[in-house]
Structure 1
Amino acid sequence: MSVIPDLDQPAFQAPDREASVYEAIREDIISGLIPANARLIVADLAERHGTSTNPVREALQQLRGEGFVVMTPNRGARVRPIDEDFIRDIYEIEVLIEPALTRWFVGIATDADIAELEALHAEMLRINYSDPVRHGRLDTQFHHTMYERHYNRHAVDLWWKHREILRAISRRHPTSLGRQAAVMREHGEVLDAIKAQDADAAAAVLARHVEGSGRHIIEQMRAARRSGQKTKVE
């Protein structure tokens, strides 16, 4: 019987890039505290976060690489709007990466790996989204168990970066009951494919799983926009 890992500890540590400053600025952008198209002035951000300018510059370069920040000559850094195109670009890349990582995992999965996946899946079914934070940790650990040993660390790092972006954005939008049910079903299907050593089936389920999650975020963004427009009219 597999023991569920300590979910209070992150399953995967991204490379150290002055994480606290980077994460704080990213969260401010995602939450809307720093609005779309706002200028990002290094000195002001350094003062706000109680640090020197170098960590802020490094954080902005990282955010630029992730698409959150746009840098223009003679105009400096500005916040890129987090719109549907932004989400689409990310999940379309993930649809290519995650099935490939999963296909490789099927070939090396051990009985211990499968037992851990079963335990994680069982716990997600048990809590049934009653604790969204714990569900998110369980979900991350489920995927991390499959990808953590892959030889292509660039691919794994990119998966982690995109997952963190999508997870951060999804916190602003509710997960529909239909999507909740689909997530649970897809986890079960990929687990069955792994146990059957069917790499193609597992990869196909993961592709559907990632695309479904990305599309759901976009649908929720559209619903929120429509609701906001209706409120303004009223």
Structure 2
Amino acid sequence: MNTIVPLLQVEETDHAEASIYERIRDDIIQGRLAANERLKVAELAERMGTSTNPVREALQQLRGEGFVVMMPNRGARVRPIDETFVRDIFEIEVLIEPALTRWFVGLATKADLERLEELQGQMEALNFADPHAHSKLDMTFHQVMYDRHYNRHAVDLWWRHREILSAISRNFQTSLSRQTSVLNEHRELLRCIAAQDADGAARIIAQHVEGSGRHIIEHLRLIKNRRDSGRRS
């Protein structure tokens, strides 16, 4: 199980410094390892300049996250990063994040609310000019809400899903309409937290997660349509 990254220490990992798991995962997301391609441990170890054990461990972790499919006598293969893959993750997150949010609203202090408002102010001032910086601020915003939750399994699953979706969405530009929605949803969430409206906050978070999911799926559909058109031409 992954360890939850401490608050305010979320950093993108440089490819050269990334773990074997991260490098294989990014190769799958970026298409350098193609959908349904067989993953041979010895070849991956040679490519990554490591022994076979870290590769085996990475493939098991990737299998647990759905990136890799393992079949008896057929080895490991790359699972397509497609609409179904993203939909499955978001359907889980729509269940997890509202539950985490309800708990937070009952616990939130004035200092918590001030910290969230500070982060929201930084995101609004940035206004998506730097997608990497926005992603870090947004991650910290949600960590303030979830990081103290007693159910570490739920928080860990949220964290792993967030990492996966962030890695996928790095390839896409956020549309203007989605940018507006993100900031508006955060503002409404802050209003609900200040009013101790747990149900309202949970509803906004569910809407927030669904919107992010639709945005990624729309980009994946565009990519698929372009590929299909290229094959026909």
Letter in 1 for 2:84: D
1:99: which partner in 2?
Answer: 98
What is the 5 A alignment of 1:203-214? 203-214=202-213
1:10: which partner in 2?
Answer: 10
1: distance between equivalents of 2:31 and 2:226? 17
1:178: which partner in 2?
Answer: 177
Q: Deviations over 1:103-135 (max 9, x none)?
A: 000011111111110011001000100000000
Q: Name the % identity.
A: 66
Q: Does the 8 Å CA contact 1:102/1:203 hold for their aligned counterparts?
A: yes
Shift of 1:52: 1.5
2: distance between equivalents of 1:53 and 1:83? 28
2: distance between equivalents of 1:102 and 1:87? 22
2: distance between equivalents of 1:74 and 1:227? 35
Q: Does the 8 Å CA contact 2:36/2:80 hold for their aligned counterparts?
A: yes
1:53: which partner in 2?
Answer: 52
Shift of 1:231: 4.4
Secondary structure of the 1:130 match is: coil
Letter in 2 for 1:217: I
Q: Deviations over 1:147-206 (max 9, x none)?
A: 000000000000001011111111122211101110010011111100111000000000
2: distance between equivalents of 1:221 and 1:46? 30
1:66: which partner in 2?
Answer: 65
TM-score, length basis structure 2: 0.91
2:74: which partner in 1?
Answer: 75
2:117: which partner in 1?
Answer: 118
2:137: which partner in 1?
Answer: 138
Whether 2:146 is the aligned partner of 1:127: answer: no
Shift of 1:53: 1.2
TM-score, length basis structure 1: 0.91
Letter in 1 for 2:101: T
Whether 2:215 is the aligned partner of 1:221: answer: no
2: distance between equivalents of 1:78 and 1:202? 40
RMSD, aligned α-carbons: 1.6
Shift of 1:224: 2.1
1:148: which partner in 2?
Answer: 147
Q: Does the 8 Å CA contact 1:190/1:206 hold for their aligned counterparts?
A: yes
Shift of 1:230: 3.6
Q: Does the 8 Å CA contact 1:45/1:56 hold for their aligned counterparts?
A: yes
Change (3 A) 1:110 1:6: closer
Secondary structure of the 1:67 match is: coil
Q: Does the 8 Å CA contact 2:7/2:143 hold for their aligned counterparts?
A: no
1: distance between equivalents of 2:85 and 2:108? 34
1:14: which partner in 2?
Answer: none
Secondary structure of the 1:71 match is: strand
Q: Does the 8 Å CA contact 2:7/2:147 hold for their aligned counterparts?
A: no
For structure 1, list consecutive stretches of 5 or more residues without a partner in the other structure.
Answer: 12-18
Write out the 4+ residue segments of structure 1 that deviate beyond 6 Å after TM superposition. none
For structure 2, list consecutive stretches of 5 or more residues without a partner in the other structure.
Answer: 1-5, 12-17
1:32: which partner in 2?
Answer: 31
Q: Does the 8 Å CA contact 1:173/1:221 hold for their aligned counterparts?
A: no
2:199: which partner in 1?
Answer: 200
Shift of 1:90: 0.2
2: distance between equivalents of 1:45 and 1:233? 33
Shift of 1:232: 4.8
Secondary structure of the 2:200 match is: helix
2: distance between equivalents of 1:190 and 1:137? 19
1:15: which partner in 2?
Answer: none
Letter in 2 for 1:97: I
